[in-house]
Amino acid sequence: MQAISERSATARKRLSSPIASLATVVIAVLWSLPTAGLLVTSFRPQADIQRTGWWTATSFTLDNYRQVLESQTSGRSLSQAFVNSVVITLPSVLAPLAIALIAAYALAWIDFKGRDLLFVLIFALQIVPIQVTLIPLLNLYVDAGLAGTYWPVWISHTVYSLPLAIFLLHNFMRGLPKELVEAARVDGAGHVQIFLRVLAPLLVPAVAAFGIFQFLWVWNDLLVALTFANTPGTNPMTVALANLAGSRGSAWYLLSAAAFVSMLLPLIVFLSMQRFFVRGLLAGSVKG
């Protein structure tokens, strides 16, 4: 134990050294520099953007943001596309979470024949490329009369995210003390009571971590949205931004402003839930 403590102290000393701190600052600056340039560019007039680099900026304007919010793509403004993104993202996050929580509980705490094989098969679905499923799913949606609605993109995002969601939540549940569940069973609690009253409060970090991942993935997705939601009434921000510059790139100078409009809500979500993020990422990695 003493040797472990000494190694831990040495590692902390190295990580807190001036050289390590300087390297961290340098990496952070280099990592943030492109974003800073994009931010400055989003406030520059069109003529300046097309003539000189962002580091020479001397004048600023809000015209780019005004044009972005008022621009029409496929007959709709980008503000409507922003609303579509919210409508698409929220159910696409909540639906897989609800299904995965139930499935993870069954795989973790209910003993039935073939449980381990079923878990392996669910985990193996993560290696299936979503590109090979797009056309078959689109044909099914068209045959079912769902084309042109939000249902295809909701269902698709839910199906694609379930293997990872079940895997993460299952590992987290299996890392919880078995004595908690056994004590609840001795007291006469059923599966619903055990899940809602015993496990649910402990699952917040894992749920938050997956929720952030899923929110960012759905919000920034272009491929699935372009396939299943590429209609004037349902296209999200990613599709609208892809159409903003036009096929010839005539309005490319607006893309920097449009990028910051698009990242506003994900940034708020991440900052508000970041305290659960690392705890959720480590879910199930070690057993207490």
Tens digits of per-residue pLDDT, 135-147?
999 999 999 988 8
Do 137 and 29 belong together in one domain? no
Please choose, from the candidates 91, 81, 76, the residue with its C-alpha nearest in 3D space to the C-alpha of residue 153: 91
Q: Residues of the chain with pLDDT > 90: what percent?
A: 18
pLDDT at 139: 92
Least confident interval from 186-195, 198-207, 218-227, 272-281: 272-281
Do 252 and 201 belong together in one domain? yes
- pLDDT reading at 248 higher than 80: no
For the chain, give the mean pLDDT: 81
Do 153 and 233 belong together in one domain? yes
Q: Name the more confident of 40 and 283.
A: 40
pLDDT at 246: 61
User: Domain range spanning residue 133?
Assistant: 75-276
Do 135 and 271 belong together in one domain? yes
Do 137 and 240 belong together in one domain? yes
**In the chain, how many domains are there?**
2
pTM (2 d.p.): 0.77
- pLDDT reading at 16 higher than 80: no
Question: Is 284 a domain residue?
Answer: no
Q: At what angle do helices 151-174 and 78-109 cross, to 10 degrees?
A: 40
Looking up residue 185, the CATH number of its domain turns out to be 1.10.3720.10
Do 144 and 265 belong together in one domain? yes
Pure H helices in the chain: 2-15, 18-42, 46-51, 63-70, 78-109, 115-124, 134-143, 151-174, 178-186, 191-193, 204-220, 223-228, 237-244, 255-281
Do 217 and 126 belong together in one domain? yes
Do 38 and 103 belong together in one domain? no
Select from 39, 61, 83 the last residue of a domain: 61
pLDDT at 7: 58
